[in-house]
Structure 1
Amino acid sequence: MRVLLVDDEPLARQRAARLLAELDNITVVGEAANAEQALSEFERNSPDVVLLDISMPGMSGIELAERLSEYEPAPAVVFCTAYDEYAIAAFESHAMGYLLKPIQRDKLAAVFSRLARLNQAQLSALAELTVNDERNEARQQLCANSPQGMSLLPISAVRYFYADNKYVSAVHSEGELLLDESLKELEDEFAEQFVRIHRNALVALAYLQGIERAGIGAYRVRLQGIEEGPQISRRHLPALRARLNRKP
């Protein structure tokens, strides 16, 4: 992988270059101290990955990442910063990684190992999405970015989707994946696999085991592999009971 280092601190660039030199199949093709230099170096060298500081004079790393996302092909962006409060902003800019300074070799190695593994996975996922779009079929897996990098999650592993403010989480047996999609979009796409039980929740029919009380006049679903399922609204309770009665 070809890497461009962007940081206004020369010592930070030197440390990153030294650590990257210890990793296999990594080549530093350029360095930049600000966003203007970074755009010039990117156009000159076409790196696969940009290791990018967030807090810089002039255009910030977040703003630069948004500019880089307009290129075709766009590079993978890994943020490197001394502050952890930028994590959500980094996620929203679709960063592939998020490292805190001073960079630790093992964490840097883990991010680039993940990038190497995901190169083919991303291509496969994009190819699958294209085919499904052409056939108007639902996807077989979800693909989303997080501060830890890109994650792929099979639809078959999702127990339920849950909306909280402007974010939607795909909950599975080992955790959850934060998505940049609306619950309505997911409901339309996966109508045959998921049923709405609340204005903020869709549950997987394949894992639906029953209904249980969650207090006076309140109910929640019982899902395989989940300790506590989401709550059912009064509006959706009759339809869900009827659905369960029809379930073999």
Structure 2
Amino acid sequence: MINIAVCDDRPEDRESIKKYIAGYFDSNPHNYKTSEFEKGEDLLAEYIDEYRFFDIIFMDIFMSGENGIQTSKKIRQYCQRVKIIFMSTSREFALESYDVFAYGYLLKPLEHEKLKVLLDNYIKEVEANEKSLAIYTRGNIHNIRYADIVYLESKNTVVIIHTADKEKYKIYDKLDNMELRLENRRFLRCHQSYIINMDYVISVDKEFKTKTDERVLIRKRSLREIKEKYHKYIIDKMEW
């Protein structure tokens, strides 16, 4: 079940988005549920009082009370994984939306094709998250979901797979082989000894910093190229 929230103070805009979502999922095998909210405070209360989470939030920016950016910053205190798609009549908050890891920023009136691209990308991620990496270690077979892998590290003849729950899986293999097996756009070979899952990156300078508060090295001679690849990945996900 994909839980979707539509937060907009204009009833006609909420209804328009709900109709489009219904039409989209008519030709999509995934189940979904849509909830609507008139104010950001009402949506936030679902996280605080009901402890309810959503997979996607369509968030209007200009609303009475707190605006969409302010509400989203508070939501991020409770949930990092929710995809927040901002909607606005202005690009004024486009750059600021990066601060809350926006999944998209759409201008009103909404273009259905851009909505479709965002939903298509999300469905691809859902299906990709269901994929897993099968490894054999210590006499056991483990299936590690792509979505749970933060980064891979090579040490001599061993590859260490670091996961979001801080587990480490060690296998005897080459990182080159693992790179071929993990043929998925979220994974980036950023160093001779590292492959990073870009979905876990929160900042990049001379190295990547992850949501798990770890640091992954970037190949110095390719620093600019790798940073450009990361930024392109983020921009492609945003689908302005």
TM range (shorter): 0.5 to 0.7
Q: 2:97 aligns with which of 90, 112, 125?
A: 90
1:185 maps to 207
CA RMSD of aligned residues (A): 3.7
In the alignment, is residue 127 of structure 1 matched against residue 148 of structure 2? yes
2:42 maps to 37
Secondary structure of the 1:181 match is strand
Unaligned runs of 5+ in 2: 131-144, 152-160, 180-184, 192-200, 210-214, 227-240
2:135 maps to none
Aligned residues of 1:6 and 1:34 also touching (Cα < 8 A): yes
Q: Distance in 1 between matches of 2:16 and 2:31?
A: 15
In the alignment, is residue 101 of structure 1 matched against residue 78 of structure 2? no
Q: Distance in 1 between matches of 2:10 and 2:4?
A: 17
Evaluate the alpha carbon distance shift between residue 39 and residue 19 of structure 1 in structure 2; reply closer, same or farther with a 3 A threshold. Answer: same
Q: Distance in 2 between matches of 1:190 and 1:45?
A: 37
Q: 2:220 aligns with which of 187, 195, 202?
A: 195
- Residue identity opposite 2:11 in structure 1: P
Q: Distance in 1 between matches of 2:64 and 2:84?
A: 19
2:3 maps to 2
* More contact order relative to length (CA 8 Å, sep ≥ 6): 2
With 6-15 and 20-29 compared, the bigger mean Cα shift is at 20-29
Larger radius of gyration between Structure 1 and Structure 2: 1
**TM-score if structure 1 supplies the norm length?**
0.56
Aligned residues of 1:29 and 1:47 also touching (Cα < 8 A): no
Unaligned runs of 5+ in 1: 142-150, 158-178, 205-248
Q: 2:70 aligns with which of 59, 63, 72?
A: 63
Give matches, 1:13-52, under 5 Å: 13-24=14-25, 25=30, 27-41=32-46, 43=50, 46-52=53-59
Secondary structure of the 2:12 match is helix
